[in-house]
Amino acid sequence: METMANTPRVVRGRVELWTPHNGGEVAFAPLIRGNYRNVGAQILANNQRVPTGDYTASLTDTAYFSPEVADEPEFEAIRDDIKSDWLHVFNVDTWTDKGVYSMKDLEAKGRSDTTSIKQLEAMLKGGKELSWGGIRFSQDGLVGFAPEGSYKLGEHTAESLATDGLVVVTYSVDGAKKIGRLSTKFRYNHRTCGVKVQEGQAPEKRVSALGCGGDGLLVGGYGFGVVACRASGVLN
């Protein structure tokens, strides 16, 4: 049977999980498990890219909303792991008393990343600011900043997740809409979690994850990266 481009599908042999992404398509490897840095190192050693927030949003959207692959075991595993084992999201979140910076962690450094606020601001220079919330992105899309007031830590609806500053800078504008839609597959009490830094206190670096807390979707930006979770390397 001929397969159309941009159609979600599984290619076996070398298992490839194909999913629509940013107007094209992208392939993922099967899930592997371990702590943040170990999983990242395995993915990079296999000449794959780590799944940053934008990729994770596309992968989970396909796993939950694409009937073409609904019964495929690789996509069933993704649905199971969100509920029981969490997914690593390779973004480093730097929390400050002014807001949160989310940077795509392409080298899987986790909390050992040493990028300073000054460096993050330099990366944002010349980028774009959204028409709402004061949310900013670097020109290359690697860094986003969500000021206090653009996000809320705590309970959310599907609609509020889709426009929450933390979700937007971690998963992209389009990815945040997918995360909001994903939450409709869970019952209630969707939450975002992060760090509240008091005025004058030093910034705190954490890593991102996506999972289930109770009956709701939990968007985490407060992890230390030591808990074993799963992730799918990006193949193309």
User: Phi first, then psi: what are they for 47, rounded to 5°?
Assistant: 60, 35
pLDDT at 215: 86
Contact 115, 94 (CB under 8 A): yes
pLDDT at 4: 59
User: How far is the C-alpha of 170 from the C-alpha of 93, rounded, in Å?
Assistant: 8
Buried b (16+ CB within 10 A) or exposed e, 52-72: bbbbbbbbbbbbbebeebeeb
- Burial of residue 152 (CB within 10 Å: 0-12, 13-18, 19+) is middle
Q: Which amino acid is at 141?
A: G
User: Phi first, then psi: what are they for 131, rounded to 5°?
Assistant: -75, 0
- Burial of residue 4 (CB within 10 Å: 0-12, 13-18, 19+) is exposed
Contact 62, 16 (CB under 8 A): no
Per-residue pLDDT of the chain (236 residues; tens, 9 = 90+): 445 567 898 887 889 999 999 999 999 999 999 999 999 999 999 999 999 999 999 999 999 999 999 999 999 999 999 988 899 999 999 999 999 999 999 999 999 999 999 999 999 999 999 999 999 999 999 999 999 999 999 999 999 999 999 999 999 999 999 999 999 999 888 999 999 999 999 999 999 999 998 789 999 999 999 999 999 999 97
Model-level pTM? 0.94
Residue 172, phi-psi category: left (phi > 0), alpha (psi -120 to 50), beta (remainder): left
